[in-house]
Amino acid sequence: MKFRTYFIAALLLAWTLVASPLLAEPMNRIDLQAEAASVIPNDLLVATMGIEVQEQDTASVARQLNATINAALDKAMRYKTVKVSSGWQNTSPVYGKNNQISGWRGSAQINLESRDFNAASNLIGSLQDALRLTGISFQVSPEARQLAEDALITSALNAFNGRADTVKRALHASGFQIVHIGINADGGDPAPYLRQPRAMKMSAEISESEFSGGDTRIVVRVSGTIALNNQ
């Protein structure tokens, strides 16, 4: 009997220790959200150029693709402010009558990145005798994005504190404490310049002003919970 009494007392004590924080949980908690945003110019051009060939055998397809891509890469190396790399390469059969293979089709592409829009436009124009422009967009570079987000974090946190103070005064509380807070950055979508399913042709005479990169809206959001202090 004594053992049972001790056992029940131990259970009650354990429940009390676990439940005490829950019972003491303040009920005057408020969820808040604030944000800060800025519009900054896109400083990075990203483009793809490609080629498609069709021959009777895979060896001929590979020979043409490799020769064209290698020549384009060699030409691009002269543009020191443009980063160039080879992209995907694919070869697939072409079917004719009676579902028999009548040839082979191959495609390949290169990728271009640059902050120098004028040099990039000149390179793209010079490569279009062998490659077709298949996509181009303008983005905020990682370095510029980081600088913008770092500046916005302070503004967003100040906005959050301002809202918390407004809530405190409206509910006649003596103060508030931040229970938890989270920060999220949203950079928006890159600005498209030319992006179509089919290959595109761009005039080699295009001017730098026509190659304007546009802007991107960078947003930093702060969300969290505050606990109001009673008078």
In the prediction, which pLDDT does 26 show? 52
CA distances from 205 to 28, 187, 201, 211 (A): 66, 32, 12, 11
Beta strands in 115-214 (DSSP E): 132-139, 175-186, 191-194
Report DSSP letters for 61-96, one per residue.
HHHHHHHHHHHHHHHHTT-TTEEEEEEEEEEEEEE-
97: how many CB neighbours lie within 10 A of its CB? 6
pLDDT at 203: 46
Asked whether the beta carbons of 172 and 231 are under 8 A apart, the reply is yes
User: Which of 139, 188, 181, 182 shows the shortest CA–CA distance to 38?
Assistant: 188
- pTM, two decimals, is 0.70
CB 82 within 8 A of CB 114: yes
pLDDT computed for residue 198 by the predictor: 39
Which residue type sits at 148?
A
Note the pLDDT of residue 231. 60
pLDDT in tens, the chain (231 residues): 544 444 444 444 444 444 444 444 456 899 999 999 999 999 999 999 999 999 999 999 999 999 999 999 999 999 999 999 998 899 999 998 888 899 999 999 999 999 999 999 999 999 999 999 999 999 999 999 999 999 999 999 999 999 999 999 999 999 999 999 999 988 655 444 444 433 444 544 444 445 678 899 999 999 999 999 976
Q: For position 194, what pLDDT does the model report?
A: 45
Question: Residue 225: what pLDDT?
Answer: 95
pLDDT of residue 211: 66
Give pLDDT, residue 176: 93
